[in-house]
Amino acid sequence: MELVGFKSFAKKSELHFATPITAIVGPNGSGKSNVAEAFRFVLGEQSFKSMRGKKGEDLIWNGAVKLSRQNRAAVKLIFDNSSVGGQKLLNIDFDEAILERVVHRDGVNEYSVNGSQVRLRDILELLAGAHIGPSGHHIISQGEADRILNANIKERRLMIEDALGLKIYHYKKQESERKLEKTKENINSVESLRREIVPHLKFLKKQVEKIAKTAELRAKLVALYHEYFRHESAYLNRERVVLAEERRLPSEDLKKIEYDLARARKVLENSQEADKQSRELLEIEGQLRTLRARKDELFRDLGRLEGELSAEKRLLQRLGLEEKNEEHRTIAWREVEKLAKEIEEQTILEKVKELVVNFLMFHRQTPNNRTLQEASQTIEKIGKEKIISEERLQKENTNEKEFLEKYNELKIAAAKEKDESRAAEREVFRLMTAQNEIAGKLQMLRVREEKLKTNEEEYKMELTEAVAIAGAEAIRYEEISDETVRAQFVNEPRQAQTERRRELEKIKIRIEEMGAGGGDDIVKEHQEAEERDSFLAREIADLEKTSQSLKELIAELDEKLTAEFKTGVAKINAEFQKYFAMMFGGGEASIEVIREKKRKRAKLEEEAGLFDEPSGVVSLLAEAAAEEEGEEGIDIRVNLPRKRIKGLDMLSGGERALTSIALIFAVSQVNPPPFIILDETDAALDEANSRKYGDIIEELSKKSQLILITHNRETMSRAGVLYGVTMGSDGVSKLLSIQFTEAVEAAK
């Protein structure tokens, strides 16, 4: 052992324990007991009182006249850790184990093993495996020998468990209990987190279910869109081809007629015989041309208005369905902000209540963004424009009829006259008649073309809306290549396509009502929340599994403690009896595991009072209160030879000292520690008992190294090496060592 600045050992001092028994001697106050305290210190003792101090600073050399104080105290203990029988003393992979503890004046402690800094717990666990501790059975100071006799049954049990090397189980049990408590806290914490997630997870689950239903509707919508677009595309393509084909011949004929008519008109205009009838005919022909141009413009306007009217009616239908579903009513954010601002300005609760009620009533009567009223007004406006256009068309038709009547009158008059001079007029009449017929056909074709144009516009709008609602997949449909199937599509009644469109509108409204926005984010959040919940569930399962394992480990440790303790007690009893008999020349001694009895505080007085029992009966009942069992402990039983003494209380001081020494030695021999320190435990022994004491320590030295701090000559005579501790005027402890033979001479 090496001491530097520890208590009175101001300078570096070394003690080598190379013999089975080493004795440390010296006058009172020289500092020899500081050696025992140095052992306690380096082995991790935390009670400064047991080292005769109040704080860490008290263990550091405090200075003298010639030697200044130091700022740290250090004790180093070096063990021979080479393998014996294939097993090392301390469980580290070094042949020499160096334990060191340093305390600084600020109270900071440092621990190291072979130069590596460690925790106190690491030191204690390392030593526990070798049955060594800072204040265990192997370090017995003067006055502490009797402690095992004076201790209560629980304290005795702890001492004996320490001596039996069971402290390691206590460390493991305490660590397991600490982990178990921490695990319970973690379980509660994780369960709390999971409870917090559950409501949000339920909400997200409903949202995801809604999104799933929306996805189903969207898939159905996409399929219906494909069918609708295939039919509509086939119809529009076919109608476009048919109209082009039907228009081709009339258009060609009309061009020829118009050419001939222009030439005939020119002939008629240049004719010297042109008269009033000819001029009137030319005037009618010009007016009919202008009228037909106006009619064409009106037809185009009517087609446009019909398209707009159809779109607005679809919107009105959708808004009507949305209005029926109050749950999905949307209120403009500015309206909510306005309400919030008004509420902030109020101080009276009734006024706030009135504001909220009015707000709800107003928006209950006001549908979504584009209101039904607005849509109805737009339809009404378009309807009026359509009526005006129809009236104008009707007027033009009337004018056309009047012109045609005049035209027919002139034609009849011209037919009655056979004069060759009227040939040009007859040609004009013929051409105008053919022109009227072709114009009628072309006019019907224009109506169909305007209708087709309206259908094409609606088709394009539907494509755009399909992408917005159902994505690009909705317009990725396959065109019909089979002519037979295409013909079936074309010849299908338009009412079937109208029904498809109505079904499309219904599905689109349902999708809008269910809210299709932010679906991916919600699904992702739900997935993350589910993963988090699953993770927490696994955490709880793992923690509960850990908790169960810890409980099983604690139960197993308790079982081992109980079993090894009982086995150890039996071994101690055998040794205790042997050493007791050696000390007293016979007699009996043993330790016994008992359970402390505690008296229950019975409520018998109250119960007795119910029956008006006399006070004496109540007193007897109270004394008869049942006893309950407390904690297990150790009781010591002795029976001295040739004396009727069977209890510790009847022993004299010397007898108590011998009994305690016998028990301590017995305990130490069950699981012998590598060393035992006895600090003046022989001080109260007379010469005869000192010889017995000497015999016993020689017996003990066969299993453990003994370090004896003593004044007893008999004890000194058993040592192989003597260390003498002296102290000069400077208060510094110094060491001297002599061999045994020299110690005998010095003792004489």
Confidence of residue 244 (pLDDT cuts 50, 70, 90): confident
pLDDT bin (cut points 50, 70, 90) of residue 332 is low
**pLDDT band (50, 70, 90) for residue 685:** confident
User: What are the structural domain ranges in the chain?
Assistant: 188-329+367-517
Banded pLDDT at 492 (limits 50, 70, 90): confident
Of the candidates 469, 513, 517, 514, which has an alpha carbon nearest to the alpha carbon of residue 319?
A: 513
In the 3-class helix/strand/coil scheme, how is 85-129 assigned residue by residue? CCECCCCCCCCEEEEEEEEECCCCEEEEECCEEECHHHHHHHHHC
> What's the rounded mean pLDDT across residues 127-150?
74
Among the listed ranges 389-398, 651-660, 711-720, which one has the minimum average pLDDT value? 389-398
Average pLDDT over residues 469-492: 75
Give 573-596 pLDDT, tens digit per residue: 999 999 889 888 888 999 998 887
Q: What is the pLDDT of residue 605?
A: 47
Averaged pLDDT for residues 628-643: 81
Nearest to 463 by CA among 220, 229, 217, 304: 229
Q: What is the pLDDT of residues 15-74, one digit of tens each?
A: 999 899 999 999 988 999 899 999 999 999 888 888 888 898 999 999 888 889 999 999
- Flag whether pLDDT at 545 surpasses 80: yes
Residue 568 · residue 634 · CB < 8 Å: no
Taking each continuous run of H as one helix and of E as one strand, the counts in the chain are 19, 14
pLDDT at 656: 83
| % of the chain at pLDDT higher than 70 | 79
What are the pLDDT digits (tens) for 694-725? 988 898 899 889 999 999 999 998 999 999 99
The pLDDT-based confidence of 413 (bands split at 50, 70, 90) is low
- Residue 517, pLDDT score: 55
CB 477 within 8 A of CB 230: yes
* DSSP secondary structure string for all residues of 614-679: -HHHHHHHHHTPPEEEEEEEEEEEEE-TTS---SGGG--HHHHHHHHHHHHHHHHHHS--SEEEEE
CA distance 570 to 737: 41
What does the pLDDT average to over 512-517? 65
CA distances from 176 to 131, 183, 546, 556, 560 (A): 21, 10, 10, 11, 15
Beta bridge partners of 75: 3, 101
Specify the pLDDT at position 236.
84
Please give the pLDDT value at position 71. Answer: 93
Mean of pLDDT values over 393-409 = 75
**Residue 723: predicted pLDDT:** 94
Higher pLDDT, 453 or 403: 453
Return d(Cα 740, Cα 565) in angstroms, integer: 40
What pLDDT is attached to residue 616? 47
Q: How confident is the model at residue 618 (pLDDT cuts 50, 70, 90)?
A: very low
pLDDT(305) > 80: no
Contact 167, 642 (CB under 8 A): no
φ, ψ dihedrals at 650, nearest 5°: -95, 0
Give 342-388 pLDDT, tens digit per residue.
676 675 566 666 666 666 655 554 444 556 677 778 877 877 877 88
Q: Model confidence at 604, in pLDDT bands (50, 70, 90)?
A: very low
Q: Which two tokens stand for residue 145?
A: 């020998």
Q: How confident is the model over 484-500, as a mean pLDDT?
A: 78
Whether residue 331 is predicted with pLDDT greater than 60 in this model: the reply is no
Mean pLDDT of the chain: 80
Q: What is the pLDDT of residue 388?
A: 83
Q: Is the pLDDT of residue 603 over 50?
A: no
Measured from the Cβ of residue 632, the count of other Cβ atoms closer than 10 Å reads 14
Residue 4: pLDDT over 80: yes
- Residue 687 has what pLDDT? 86
Most confident of 112-126, 432-446, 666-680: 112-126
What six digits make up the tokens of 533? Answer: 């919940």
What pLDDT, on a 0 to 100 scale, did the predictor assign at position 14?
Answer: 95
Query: Which pLDDT band holds residue 424 (cuts at 50, 70, 90)?
Result: low
Q: Rounded to an integer, what distance in angstroms lies between the CA atom of residue 655 and that of residue 452?
A: 128
Question: In which band, very low, low, confident or very high, does the pLDDT at 243 lie, cut at 50, 70 and 90?
Answer: confident
